[in-house]
Structure 1
Amino acid sequence: MTLVLGLTGGIATGKSTADNFFKKHHIPIVDSDKIAHHIYDPGKQGYNEVVTEFSSAILDSDKKINRKRLGEIVFHNPQKMQRLDEITHPLIYQEVVNKLNKYREQAEKIVVFDAPLLYETGGQRLCDFVLVISLPESLQLKRLMERNNLTESQAQARIDSQMPLAKKIAKADFVVDNTGTIDELEEKLKEILLKVEAEG
């Protein structure tokens, strides 16, 4: 049986660092962000529907979707964010299901499903367990501003567009605080991996 470990948290809380840990342990990862990037590829259904909805103003000179420009539109407008979600989430969800089924056919013991919006999109239904990577919001804001070169208001808008971290923590099977070093995070993840493996 293949166990699916959902990995979520807030933006800039350290999911990518957790992904690197799982990769080192040869655990396959289904990354919803990477899938989301691909549905924006020119010619794809997602690309066509998003451009139709938000106009060619979101395109670069090479006709690719400028995600930062699109973000500036939706992160400050809940209705537009909802419309973008209505277009993209079903496409992402189906591709996630396809990838998980592929790993089940390969009889993988554990697969990590990395989804920043796991609970917002109902993705937890695909998981046996959910792990949340958490940070105090002040530190999350600081890391996001530094990582993405954003102003405080831009970073705050991105944080506010997601479900509050406290709600995700309340729903999760496992919670890891990521205020320490990478080594400390990896030690905590090792313990969780052992618990999940024991269920297999």
Structure 2
Amino acid sequence: MKRTIGLTGSIATGKSTVSQWLKEAGFAVVDADIAARKVVEKGTAGLEEIRQHFGETVLTKEGELNRGKLGKIIFEDAEKRTLLNQIVHPKVKAYMLKEREALFEAGETIVIFDIPLLYESHLEALVDQIVVVRTSRETEIKRLMARDGIQAEAAIQKIDTQMPIEEKEQRADFVIDNDGSLEKTKKQVDHLIQQFKNFQ
């Protein structure tokens, strides 16, 4: 039986670490962040659409996407952020579904969809079950401050753009608590891997 598992969390909860462990355990992982970069590479329809709507200024001299410039524009303008999402999100979804199809055809029985904003983007229907990686809000703020070199206020602002982690936990099929040591988290992931293997 073929199965798609959605992996999500919130910013700085440690989802990427869990994703890496799942890869190391031999699971096929399709990463939404990688997909989002692929669909706007030089020469793609995605990049051309962005150029048409946002102008030449968001391109580098080499004709690639200038992420810094585009990021500044959408950070300051909610309408433009929505427009960018309308361009990119359907392409990311199509890319991930195509990747999944190829993996299933190659004999994989479980595919992990690593999607940071799975709930926020309303992509639950793409997956059979959902794993949420969580920490307490305090831990999340501390880790984000350390990771990005920012003050608490800026960290809170970033965290508050996403759905509260408590809500994600309530809607999850599996929860990985990454509030303690890496060893404790790894034990939970190993248990999860065993459950996944029982599906196969």
Q: TM-score, normalised by structure 1?
A: 0.89
What do residues 138-176 of structure 1 show as CA deviations (whole Å, max 9, x unaligned)? 322332233234454544443233222222112110111
- Cα 1:95–1:177 shift into 2, 3 Å: same
Deviation at 1:62, TM superposition (A): 3.6
- Secondary structure of the structure 2 residue equivalent to 1:75: helix
Partner amino acid for 1:58? V
Partner amino acid for 2:143? R
Q: Distance in 1 between matches of 2:151 and 2:70?
A: 17
What do residues 91-133 of structure 1 show as CA deviations (whole Å, max 9, x unaligned)? 0000111011111112213211100111222322121110001
Structure 2 residue ranges without an equivalent (≥5):
none
Partner of 1:51: 51
Structure 1 residue ranges without an equivalent (≥5):
none
Deviation at 1:73, TM superposition (A): 2.9
Partner of 2:197: 197
Partner of 1:42: 42
Deviation at 1:199, TM superposition (A): 3.3
Partner of 1:91: 91
- Secondary structure of the structure 2 residue equivalent to 1:119: coil
Partner of 1:166: 166
Q: Distance in 2 between matches of 1:141 and 1:188?
A: 23
Q: Distance in 2 between matches of 1:168 and 1:61?
A: 41
Instruction: Name the stretch that deviates more: 162-171 or 82-91.
Output: 162-171
- Secondary structure of the structure 2 residue equivalent to 1:40: coil
Q: Trace 1:52-67 onto structure 2 (pairs within 5 A).
A: 52-67=52-67
Instruction: Name the stretch that deviates more: 152-161 or 134-143.
Output: 152-161
Is the CA contact (8 Å cut-off) linking 1:6 and 1:131 kept in structure 2?
yes
- Cα 1:136–1:60 shift into 2, 3 Å: farther
Q: TM-score, normalised by structure 2?
A: 0.89
Partner of 2:141: 141
Q: Distance in 2 between matches of 1:53 and 1:92?
A: 18
Partner amino acid for 2:137? E
Instruction: Name the stretch that deviates more: 152-161 or 180-189.
Output: 152-161
Partner of 1:124: 124
Same amino acid, percent of matched pairs? 33
Q: Does 1:68 align with 2:68?
A: yes
